[in-house]
Amino acid sequence: MKTKYGEIVSVTVLGRRWFQKTYGNTYHTAQVLVNGEYVWKSGKTYGYGDHYVQTAEAWLHAHGYMPRRKKSRTGPGEPAWQYYRERHGVAWTTQVVDVAREKDL
């Protein structure tokens, strides 16, 4: 897929999650690699499950790396991995690690 940054063939999103036992909140950070090169890391952000993917995807949209997915009337639409792989031919990979300490985010 061609963008203002050149041809994008792969995007990797690396997430780190931390569960705050005191208040029961979950926080994450997200790192983004485009074509194997590190381009961004988020700060500590509230969100559980795969919200690290949504954080990374929002940054990719805002900075012109990826087109925005269309949402359906009943929900978020097709998953990011399916949209980018099948419609745009971009290898979309995610990986997450749960960490024990906040400073490990």
Each residue of 53-75: pLDDT tens digit?
A: 999 999 999 999 988 877 777 77
Q: How confident is the model at residue 83 (pLDDT cuts 50, 70, 90)?
A: confident
Contact 84, 92 (CB under 8 A): yes
Domain spans of the chain, in order of start: 2-104
**pTM metric for this prediction:** 0.90
Cα 6–7–9 angle (5° rounding)?
Answer: 145
* Rounded Cα distance, 45 and 38, in Å: 19
